[in-house]
Amino acid sequence: NDELRVCPCRGGGPRSSPSGHHHQVRSLHEPGRQPDESDQTDPASLTQDDLSNMFSDINKRLRSIDELQEISKYYFDGQGKAVRPVITVLMSRAINSHLHNDHRLLQSQQQVAKVAEMIHTASLVHDDVIDAADTRRGKPSVNFLYGQRKAVMAGDYILSVASTMLAQIRNEEVVVVLAQVLADLVQGEFMQLGSKENENERFAHYLKKTFKKTASLIAYSCKAVAILSGGDESLQEVAFQYGRNIGIAFQLVDDLLDFVASSNQLGKPSAMDLKLGLATAPVLFACEKFPELNPMIMRRFHEPGDVVKAFEYVHKSDGLQQTQYLARQHCQEAIRVISSLKPSQEQKALITITDKIIHRLK
Ligand code: GRG
């Protein structure tokens, strides 16, 4: 029932004041959807209790001088999918079950879930400044409402509070692991600025960028909670590889949705990647059938008509199917690694999530 989420302010409506915004705080769960009591492996139901206070806790930590507080809290309204905290909580509990026969979440693991959502949100705020995006999640973006300078500082502030929360976990290894995510996010964003001239290097460059920009946060959050559970290196590697594979699949589907979903579903304009000059997996695959795409990729779809032509070539090729196939392969690899844990509801939910990632519409 995606329709329930459609907000009248979608599609570049009038500027609305953030304080007077009409969105209800939505829980992590689908509105109007009755949780199925019989489904003990549903990711949303399984994580409901552990994440019910996440947004109010984060909002409490973001206390600051008036306007900075208002801007920083803007995206912590329950409208995001909270994919990273859900995966982090499920991984924590799956590993706690595996090692200690006790699926309860540790407070430190819950803190990692919050920090992951905060790092994600800070990166969204900065990303929208870099891309000059007007909308995000179907509402006006922070930079659109408050301007670039305040948006940059709000992103920095969210990150600084997240750093304090990370330090308060009091585990040096976890700090090192999650600090790597920050370096990866910046490097991933940086890699996106350049295109490779050599066609053979393009796909490898794209996958490396995809790991850093999207998968790193999920992979290292999974590793961090494995460390906190007392897992050895091989168990930490299971958690990391699950997160890495699911993260790459998630971004591949994101890149696919940019070509097939409506702007209403996405909460931002579609074909945005082409408009930003980015050649993602569907285009790189399409290039095999239509080499005419090569010069367009090199000039970052800058000439008039490039975006429309490239969009058509992608749809005429099997680039979208190939992208989906690659996402499925990464999901299968995620399932393979997580199957080495002792069976638990949470382990099964981590398998269910791969299906949701492949079939998601937003
Ligand atoms: C400030 C830490 C920091 C980094 C700066 C701008 C930047 C460097 C990195 C950008 C990273 C970025 C925006 C990656 C995109 C990842 C992605 C797939 C976002 C969409 O995630 P969803 O669909 O979003 O989970 P929701 O809205 O559901 O939360």
Q: Look up residue 138 and give its amino acid.
A: G
Q: What's the token pair of residue 97?
A: 């079950």
pLDDT of res. 196? 75
Average pLDDT of the chain to the nearest whole number: 88
Pocket of ligand 1 (CB under 6 A): 80-81, 83, 119, 122-124, 126-127, 130, 137, 155, 159, 182, 185-186, 189, 213-214, 251, 254
User: Is the pLDDT confidence value at 179 over 90?
Assistant: yes
Kindly indicate whether the domain formed by 15-358 is annotated with CATH number 3.40.50.1100: no
Top mutation candidate among 127, 136, 161, 357 for ligand 1, by most atoms within 8 Å of CB: 127
H helix runs in the chain, sequence order: 43-51, 54-61, 66-73, 83-100, 107-130, 142-146, 148-167, 172-191, 199-210, 216-229, 233-260, 263-266, 272-275, 281-289, 293-298, 306-316, 319-338, 345-359
Q: Which atom of ligand 1 is nearest to the CA of 214?
A: 16
Residue type, 62: L
Q: Is the pLDDT of residue 10 over 50?
A: no
Residues 14-52: tens digit of each pLDDT: 223 223 232 222 333 344 444 454 577 899 999 999 999
Q: What pLDDT does 263 receive?
A: 74
Task: Tally the residues of the chain.
Answer: 362
Pick from 248, 212, 247, 254: which is nearest to 88 by CA? 247
Per-residue burial over 262-277, b = 16 or more CB atoms within 10 Å of its CB, e = otherwise: ebbbbbbebbebbebb
Distance separating alpha carbons of residues 337 and 332, to the nearest angstrom: 9
Give every CB contact of residue 204 below 8 A, 6+ residues apart in sequence: none
**C-alpha–C-alpha distance, residues 320 and 314, integer Å:** 7
Query: Could you read off the pLDDT of 121-169 as tens digits, one per residue?
Result: 999 999 999 999 999 999 999 999 999 999 999 999 999 999 999 999 9
Nearest to 39 by CA among 52, 50, 29, 53: 29
Contacting residues for 10 by C-beta, under 8 A, at least 6 apart: 135, 138, 139, 263, 264, 267
Instruction: Give the integer Cα–Cα distance in Å for 41 and 47.
Output: 10
Residue 186 makes CB contacts below 8 A (sequence gap 6+) with: none
**3 secondary structure, DSSP code:** G
Greater confidence, 30 or 343?
343
Q: Which of 146, 144, 185 is nearest to 162 (CA)?
A: 185
